[in-house]
A = this chain, B = another copy of it.
């Protein structure tokens, strides 16, 4: 099963992402901060970069532990935060969890914060 919180998706920003002279809607700062907070850690930056840059765009938790040099429970904990922030999806297949980066989620957060 693939799970992802519906944060800052295209539809969402199309519906409610209006920015009036730099004044974000009342609930937006909290949602945007949650996305960035998830990336305020070098290990999670590395994990998202590894998954996003992988050949298939998907990585098994079993292949993420070595590159970051951490145990599987620790990597799982970091990945949970990325999934909860709406930056990645998690799919369980048998014994292993597989992760994908949600396209545009980070870009949308940045664009909502500072539209150019």
Contacts and interface: CB of A to CB of B under 8 A. Distances in A.
Q: Which of A33, A115, A116 is packed against the most chain B CB atoms within 10 Å? A: A33
Interface stretch (A3-11, A49-57, A69-77, A92-100): A49-57
Contacts of A53: 19, 21-23, 115
A44 B24 CA distance: 12
B39 A32 contact: yes
A-side binding surface: helix, strand, loop or mixed? helix
Interface in A7-45: 19, 21-24, 28-30, 32-34, 36-45
A101 interface: yes
B43 A29 contact: yes
Given A44-B33, A106-B113, A24 B49 contact: yes
A114 interface: yes
Contacts of A46: 24, 29
5 contacts: A22-B51, A32-B39, A37-B40, A40-B40, A107-B114
